[in-house]
Amino acid sequence: MYIMSVVYNRKVELYEMSWVLRDGLRDSLVAAAPYGGPIAVMKESQCLSPSVRPQLDIYTASGVTMATFPWKSGPVVQLGWSVSEELLCVQQDGTVLIYDLTGAFLRHFSMGQEVVQSHVSEAKIFHSPYGTGVAIVTGSSRFTLATNIDDLKLRRLPEVPGLQGAPSCWAVLNQDRQTKVLLANGPELYLLDNTCCTSVVLPGGSPLDGVFVHIAVSFSYKYLALFTDTGHLWTGLANLQDKLSEVDTKIRSPPKQMVWYVVTCRPVCLPTCLSVHLPVCLPTCLYPLDEACVCVGELDGVRLLSPSRHELLQEVPLVCEDIFKIASMGPGALLLEAHKEYQKSSQKADEYLREIKEQGMLGDAVRQCVEAAGHEQHTHTQKALLRAASFGKCFLTNLSPEAFVSVCRDLRVLNAVRDPSIGIPLTHTQLYPLAIEVCVCVCRLVYRRLYPLAIEVCRYLKTPEYQGVSRILRHWACSKVQQKGESDEVMVRCISGRLADSPGISYSHIASKAYDSGRTELAIKLLDYEARSGEQVPLLLKMRRSQLALSKAIESGDTDLVYTVVSYVKNEMNRGDFFMTLRNQPVALSLYRQFCKLQEQETLKDLYNQDDDHQELANYYVSASYREKVQANCYVSASYREKVQANYYVSASYREKVQANYYVSASYRERYWWLKLKSLAEKEEWEELEKFSKSKKSPVGYLPFVEVCMKKSNKYEAKKYVTKVTPEQRVRAHLTIEDVEGAADAAIERRSEAEIGTVISHCSSSSSSSQRLLLDKLQRALTTANRK
Amino acid sequence: MSPHATRRVFTSKGQTDGCSPPLSLIPMAQSIRRDSPELPDFSLLKRLARDQLIYLLEQLPGRKDLFIDADLMSPLDRIANVSTLKQHEVDKLYKVEYKPIVSTSDQLCFLIRPRLQSVKWICDVVNADKAAGKFRRYKLIFTPQKFYACENVLEEQGIFGDVTTDEWGFHLLPLDDDIISLELPEFFRDYFLDGNQRWVRTAGCVLHLLHSLYGPFSKVYGIGRCSKMAYESWREQVEEGEQKGRDGEIGSVFLFDRDVDYVTPMCSQVVYEGLVDDIFRIKCGCVEFGPEVTSSDKSLKVMLNSQDKVFNQIRNEHFSNVFGFLSQKAKNLQTAYDKRCGMDIKQIKTFVSEELKGLKQEHRLLSLHIGASESMMKKKTKQEFQELLKTEHSLLEGFDIRECITFIEEHINRQCSMIESLRLLCLLSLTENGLLSKDYKSMKAQYLQSYGVDHLPTFANLKQLGILVEQPTGETLTAMENKVGKLVNDRAAGKLTDAFSSLAKKSHFRALSRRLNLVPKSDEEYDLRVPKDMAYIFSGAYVPLSCKLIEQVLERDGWTGLEEVTRLLNGQEFAASGCSEADGKARSDTQRTILVMFLGGCTFSEISALRFLGKEKGYKFIIVTTAITNSARLIEALLDNRA
């Protein structure tokens, strides 16, 4: 099983293929997705008579048919898989058709107009950090790139000088966040990027003789290999700066396929050349293949796909080598041996254990066994290693069990998905490739609609709910709503029942899927479950359910959302309907009113008219008329009062008018008196004031006369009116003119407790002798008043 | 005559015989009792706002002119001063004045509230530049958030592509150690009058922000529809984000809608800080004292907060005590100055280096506050003001209503301050559960004749809010109830606008006052120097309803037992336990830190009352408000004669 070499390589059989291929893989387009993905097979069109439609088959890695359908479109140049396991079929006319795993057509796009005439001569599908890309070369030797098929931007690369027809070989490189094309035209190498085409000379001395026939880029875009027709193999870094090696393989007939096969933990990088007829070629070893096969580059090896079986060729991981190497004395190997002896109840177990312990290597031994178990494909080997590890663990006190537990857990998941009925041959290294939030196999299971297993895996791996289970459920619901046949009620009940309490479920997403597949009613029902109104409203508007959108927006309490709907509805409906709609939604109405107040006064009037809101209509007219008048003349504005005062003496006739107007009712009369006496005092026209006071009996009493005089600090004038003040107010009048004695007399006369008190409080502030006398007098009066 | 007339009259007696400082003032120097917990550090909010602003300014590299909304000037000054702005390449600062601009800079930055008017103005500016063939870069920074409506205007005016927009999440401005303001005075009118709920989410954001910085909260109480909506908005945001368990610095939260209690802000304020606000208008924690206060020919801007040692001691005092305290303080200061007489050189040296600066500072502040007090005294101890207070107190007590009406009529006829007259009318209506139809008509007529018919829409506004209403006669009441009943049956019953719900809103002030004992018994003299309850902030005449509710709810740990009260207040109360489980003793300190959020503004008197309550019960209150308000601001917000 293990072959001697500088490094050890092994070929593990993954599956006996269960497919039935009529003509093997010969003359077929075969595409297998990385990470143990599905396989698509299609007969090459030129091998068929034009009348026969080729069959497109999709299989799992174990050869179980997932979909099969006759190809009805144009001739296909290349098949490939996107990162989310969609099948891309590049047609000769530059159209790329996308299918899902079940063979359902998803969408299509074109690689440009000029391709329709010139035809695609070769196409490559590649994966980059930006997603899945497509690169084509046309019959007129022009390259076109699309770096991400989900966000399609076509880039036509510049012309290559001197290139006639197809290049002899080419590859897509990913450098410095740029996608470039490396191509060979006979012995010349060119590097194409967005703007220019540069000629490249390989570093590292002697130019290779011969014509380049193969270019291979490693899975991580780090390494590059070139193969010439003279059998020379050049390897180096993909930045074309450093050479790693140059070998003469002595192979004269060029291989059919060349694939990188890299183990990053070792400094040596090995390209593997595989050909249908030739043995696998390694720099130091040739690996014979019995059958024509297709090879698929993986992160940590190469998968060999032949009509009868599916194998994995990989470098033997160091730990495994250490344990299983013939006559290995590594601690792991000893521990495994010790455990074997222990099971046979042989005392040798103790000897082995002692040996490890003497070296103080027991911890390492356990670790090795655990790690090696992770890399093994067969369950019995895994079990043996793990048992050995757990046996060794017993003799250790402070070993962290974490690694052991996690490997056990991962292996359980891996073994579950490797089962031929599922057919995802992931290795332990591939399980967590690049800090993806969910492990690869869960995604794979979801794409295959194996939801129960995916959920089990998530729960088993303790993936956080909103990342794991919720996503799976959402995916399930999305595919569920696209199924026909079930009634809306049943569907909604089914979905909501399943999704009820999972966090982070976006019902609006599911609803939009339902709407896309033409089930509007179902979408509306689903939206009812959406907690965030912000998500409901846009979709409702898209579905032209503006009334519903409006009430949802209002329920959300987000005025921006309400406003969005209102402005949408405004353009959508005729005015009458629009107003009626608003009428039923007070929140929206008030929002719109406020908007109109600032923007469209006229609309406001119509709105009030429609509502029969007479109060608001009246207010509207009042303020509107003021607006006009203020502009015309400011006579009636807020400064009205000042105007009256200022103009008071200007015209006698005006005064008469005021009098005429103001005599109508008592309160007018009062105001007239107030106005007049204040104005007179303001102008210090004391004679006029006195005349005025005598003109008629004052309706406001005479205290105001005292007060206005005192406001101007005219005590003399004020005194004139004190006597006229009614007895009830006389105390106050006296106090106003600061005549305490007068006030005291008035108070005593009235025998009012409260008033005497007020006067006392005024007296107490000073301490002259006359004051004190007054105080005594008041006190006496108070007691008499009290007695009464 | 009952003694209520004498005891609450605002006399100058306090200053003349108040040479010895009032008792309550003596412990105030060390006012924090042992059991009042420490306040969380809110300067963090300022730092956050500043950092974000700087980040936003740097998004537009190079020199630029900055245009600022007039009402953002003072808050911005508290966050980042001019030199900070200059450091980040702000060339010139302009106030947004809705006029053509004169700037020559080729980069303009606008820092504005999300108002359509401002956005339209900017559109005009941009379009004018376009017409003149001038190329500039424009950046609009909306604070605290941008609204879709604003972007819509940009789009309609065809300049959406010419400007970049951003949000400056400047939600909270700490005005003082215990006061945080949203500085959104328009909240009140927008929500309560226009029924526009756009700020509700902002209130939710504010809670979320405080929760994530100082939370978790253990309990949330609230009353009013806006409170409820803000609470729900906050909960939504909490659920969306991740929760982290840690010790909170804030115990309970109390949310309070302004429309639950309109009576309190309608009363004249007589606590020093409130009085300063009423007379000089405190703007963003800062007041401008005119020449009559500073006794020089310049006016002076003064920050009023706990940093001002003199102010800190008198801010919560009834005004009648303040003068006595200040004179005592002046005497102490003199003694401190006099100390230096008997000193030798060395002592004088230490005196000058250590004490003199403090004394000088104190001296300056003291003379300022004495000036302010004098100026206020001139205005407030007049006969008229006392009559006004007397009337207010009678209204609160429901005593001599006829007399009060006569007083108000006289007030109107004399054409005294327009706002003041309206305030009295409102207070009358609020306490009397609406005016009799006859009174309403006649007083409205008199008012309009005195101050101009352009106030007509204002009356409609006040009616809509239920602040100044006509008592419904039997017939109209049933008609209205039918109307409301019909609406309630609608599906969107819970989402009625205030416009409609206020139709059914009645002020039950009299009943509430009896039930909560808001007006203390008037037969004993109320010593304002030793306040015994929160009524002291209104000369012992009235315990503010808002603060009383908070006290009761905290005491009862919920609304149980207050069913009758909440029924009278139109319900909408809620209590919810927060997301953290209180773990007993260890956190008992923070449990007594209570955050009170006023939606629609609160007055300084209410803050003083809560501070008093805190001292009595060992609570520490943090007041979050949409803006500091008072009667004048409240009424001005409802005026509609500007059209």
Helical segments of B132-199, H only: 148-156, 186-188
Residue B285 belongs to some domain of the structure = yes
Residue A109 contacts B where some CB pair is shorter than 8 Å: no
Q: Please state the φ and ψ torsions of residue A139, each to the nearest 5 degrees.
A: -60, -25
Where do we find the tokens 């309206």? B422
Mean pLDDT of B82-93: 86
What pLDDT, on the 0 to 100 scale, is given for residue A664? 46
Angle (deg, nearest 10), helices A740-750 and A769-787: 10
CATH code of B160's domain: 3.40.50.2060
Q: Which long-range contacts (CB under 8 A, 24 or more apart) does A254-258 make?
A: A254/A213, A254/A214, A254/A227, A254/A229, A255/A214, A255/A227, A255/A281, A257/A214, A257/A294, A257/A295, A258/A214, A258/A215, A258/A216, A258/A225, A258/A227
B473 Cα to chain A: minimum distance (Å): 19
**Which residues does chain A have with pLDDT short of 70?**
1-7, 45-50, 204-208, 251-254, 261-292, 433-441, 501, 626-669, 762-770, 785-788
What pLDDT, on the 0 to 100 scale, is given for residue B382? 67
Residues B373 and B332 in one domain: yes
Contact B182, B600 (CB under 8 A): no
Range of the domain at B225: 174-261+538-638
Residues B145 and B190 in one domain: no
Q: Classify the phi-psi angles of A250: left when phi > 0, otherwise alpha if psi is within -120 to 50, otherwise beta.
A: left
Record: contact A586-B413, CB cut-off 8 A: no
Tell me which residues of chain A, numbers 208 to 227, contact chain B at a CB-CB cutoff of 8 Å.
none
Q: Please state the φ and ψ torsions of residue B332, each to the nearest 5 degrees.
A: -60, -40
Give me the sign of the Cα torsion angle B517, B519, B525, B527: positive
Of B169, B203, B236, the position where a domain reaches its end is B169
Of B117, B135, B169, the position where a domain reaches its end is B169
pLDDT over 80 (residue B334): yes
ipTM for this model: 0.71
Residues B351 and B446 in one domain: no
Tell me which residues of chain B, numbers 468 to 497, contact chain A at a CB-CB cutoff of 8 Å.
490, 492, 495-497
Determine the straight-line distance between the first and last CA of chain A, rounded to whole angstroms.
129
Structure tokens at B159: 């300049």
- Mutant choice from B152, B413, B501 vs A, greatest count of A C-beta within 10 A: B413
Residues B600 and B484 in one domain: no
Residue B352 contacts A where some CB pair is shorter than 8 Å: no
Residue B34 belongs to some domain of the structure = no
A569 Cα to chain B: minimum distance (Å): 14
Residues B241 and B279 in one domain: no
Q: For residue A395, give the 3-state DSSP assignment.
A: coil
What pLDDT, on the 0 to 100 scale, is given for residue B483? 52
A736 Cα to chain B: minimum distance (Å): 8
Considering only CB atoms, A641 lies closest to which of B120, B415, B643, namely: B415
Residues B99 and B47 in one domain: yes
Q: Please state the φ and ψ torsions of residue B71, each to the nearest 5 degrees.
A: -80, 0
pLDDT over 80 (residue B102): yes
- The count of other CB atoms within 10 Å of the CB of residue B563 is 11
* Cα gap B124→B162, rounded to integer Å: 13
Closest CA to B66 of B87, B95, B46: B95
What pLDDT, on the 0 to 100 scale, is given for residue A707? 78
A273-316 confidence digits (pLDDT tens): 443 333 344 444 445 565 667 777 777 777 878 888 888 877 77
* Cα gap A394→B140, rounded to integer Å: 69
Sheet holding A95-99, edge to edge: A76-81, A87-91, A95-99, A105-110
Structure tokens at A609: 């008219």
Record: contact A586-B410, CB cut-off 8 A: no
Residues B125 and B203 in one domain: no
What Å distances lie between residue A60 and A54, A85, A313, CA to CA?
Answer: 20, 12, 19
Residue B546 belongs to some domain of the structure = yes
Contact A474, A510 (CB under 8 A): yes
Given pLDDT bands bounded at 50, 70 and 90, which one contains residue B629?
A: very high
Structure tokens at B512: 């509430």
CATH code of B461's domain: 1.25.40.850
Nearest-5° angle of CA A244, CA A245, CA A247?
A: 165
Record: contact B415-A675, CB cut-off 8 A: yes
Residue A557 contacts B where some CB pair is shorter than 8 Å: yes
B159-211 confidence digits (pLDDT tens): 888 888 888 888 888 988 889 999 898 899 888 888 888 888 889 989 988 88
Contact A203, A243 (CB under 8 A): yes
Nearest-5° angle of CA B121, CA B124, CA B130?
A: 150
What pLDDT, on the 0 to 100 scale, is given for residue B136? 86
A289 Cα to chain B: minimum distance (Å): 56
Contact A473, A506 (CB under 8 A): no
Cβ-based neighbours of A274, under 8 Å, separated by 6 or more:
A255, A256, A257, A258, A259, A280, A281, A289, A293, A295, A302, A304
Between B326 and B584, the higher pLDDT residue: B326
Residue of B nearest to A628 (CA): B643
A635-677 confidence digits (pLDDT tens): 444 444 444 444 443 333 444 444 444 444 555 667 777 777 7
Which chain B positions have a beta carbon within 8 Å of A623's beta carbon?
Answer: 454, 457, 640, 643
Contact B199, B192 (CB under 8 A): no
Structure tokens at A470: 């919720």
Across chain B, mean pLDDT equals: 80
Helical segments of A543-585, H only: 546-556, 559-572, 575-583
What is the DSSP secondary structure assignment for residue A292, as one 8-state letter?
-
Distance of CA A513 to the CA centre of its chain: 17
Record: contact A638-B13, CB cut-off 8 A: no
Tell me which residues of chain A, numbers 148 to 207, contact chain B at a CB-CB cutoff of 8 Å.
none
Residue B155 contacts A where some CB pair is shorter than 8 Å: no
Given pLDDT bands bounded at 50, 70 and 90, which one contains residue B522?
A: low
CATH code of B574's domain: 3.40.50.1910
Of B143, B169, B195, the position where a domain reaches its end is B169
B440-499 confidence digits (pLDDT tens): 888 888 888 888 777 888 888 888 888 888 887 655 545 555 555 444 444 344 444 443
Residue B603 belongs to some domain of the structure = yes
* Cα gap B405→B384, rounded to integer Å: 16
Contact B315, B327 (CB under 8 A): no
Residue B523 belongs to some domain of the structure = no
Residue B454 belongs to some domain of the structure = yes
Residue B36 belongs to some domain of the structure = no
Between B516 and A429, the higher pLDDT residue: B516
What pLDDT, on the 0 to 100 scale, is given for residue B642? 55
Record: contact A627-B643, CB cut-off 8 A: yes
Residue B237 contacts A where some CB pair is shorter than 8 Å: no
Contact A127, A83 (CB under 8 A): yes
Structure tokens at A134: 């497509």
What pLDDT, on the 0 to 100 scale, is given for residue A668? 65
* Total domain count, chain B: 4
Bridging pattern class, strands A197-200 and A87-91: unpaired
Between A415 and B527, the higher pLDDT residue: A415
Which chain B positions have a beta carbon within 8 Å of A599's beta carbon?
Answer: 116, 153
Residue B643 contacts A where some CB pair is shorter than 8 Å: yes
Residue A641 contacts B where some CB pair is shorter than 8 Å: yes
* Cα gap A234→A247, rounded to integer Å: 7
> What's the full length of chain B, in residues?
643
Contact B141, B110 (CB under 8 A): yes
Residue B417 contacts A where some CB pair is shorter than 8 Å: no
Residues B158 and B111 in one domain: yes
Tell me which residues of chain A, numbers 270 to 289, contact chain B at a CB-CB cutoff of 8 Å.
none
What pLDDT, on the 0 to 100 scale, is given for residue B603? 93
Record: contact B454-A591, CB cut-off 8 A: no
* Cα gap A2→A130, rounded to integer Å: 38
Biggest CA-to-CA distance, chain B: 88
- The count of other CB atoms within 10 Å of the CB of residue B7 is 18
Residues B303 and B213 in one domain: no
Record: contact A560-B198, CB cut-off 8 A: yes
How many helices and strands in chain A, by DSSP H and E?
A: 31, 29
pTM over 0.80: no
CATH code of B342's domain: 3.90.830.10
Given pLDDT bands bounded at 50, 70 and 90, which one contains residue B604?
A: very high
Question: Which helix (H) or strand (E) is A680 found in, with range?
Answer: helix A666-682
Residue B24 belongs to some domain of the structure = no
Q: Please state the φ and ψ torsions of residue A336, each to the nearest 5 degrees.
A: -60, -45
What pLDDT, on the 0 to 100 scale, is given for residue B609? 92
Residues B363 and B403 in one domain: no
Helical segments of A394-432, H only: 402-418, 428-431
Q: Which residues of A570-587 are buried (b: 16+ CB within 10 A; e: fewer)?
A: beeeeeeebbebbeebbb
Residue of B nearest to A564 (CA): B148
Structure tokens at A654: 């005006």
Structure tokens at B325: 């305290």
Distance of CA A427 to the CA centre of its chain: 31
Residues B412 and B337 in one domain: no
pLDDT over 50 (residue B394): yes
Nearest-5° angle of CA A624, CA A628, CA A629?
A: 115
Residues B348 and B303 in one domain: yes
Q: Please state the φ and ψ torsions of residue B158, each to the nearest 5 degrees.
A: 70, 30
Determine the straight-line distance between the first and last CA of chain B, rounded to whole angstroms.
47
* Cα gap A499→A702, rounded to integer Å: 84
Residue A595 contacts B where some CB pair is shorter than 8 Å: yes
pLDDT over 90 (residue B607): yes
- Mutant choice from B11, B198, B438, B500 vs A, greatest count of A C-beta within 10 A: B198
A533 Cα to chain B: minimum distance (Å): 11
Residue of B nearest to A601 (CA): B643
Bridge-partner residues for B300, per DSSP? B289
Bridge-partner residues for A672, per DSSP? none
Contact A562, A553 (CB under 8 A): yes
Bridge-partner residues for B303, per DSSP? B286
